[in-house]
Amino acid sequence: MDLGPHAAFIIASYAVVAIVMAGLITWLILDGRRHQRALDALEARGVRRRSQAEDSAR
């Protein structure tokens, strides 16, 4: 595939989009895991949300 005389600009554009999208996805996944770990740690210590505490009491 011949991208012509401006190939560098085309490749650079797609590279920037790929890097930013990959960065966003990685950040979202890691951020979610961090919060889930913190929530699991609290629940392991017996700290639960009111709705969960009511469910387990039934």
Cβ–Cβ < 8 Å for 3, 11: yes
Site for another protein in 1-58 (CB under 8 A): 1-7, 9-10, 12-14, 16-17, 20-21, 24-25, 28-29, 31-32, 35-36, 38-39, 42, 45, 47-49, 51
Three-state SS sequence of 3-53: CHHHHHHHHHHHHHHHHHHHHHHHHHHHHHHHHHHHHHHHHHCCCCCHHHH
Residue ranges binding another protein (CB under 8 A): 1-7, 9-10, 12-14, 16-17, 20-21, 24-25, 28-29, 31-32, 35-36, 38-39, 42, 45, 47-49, 51
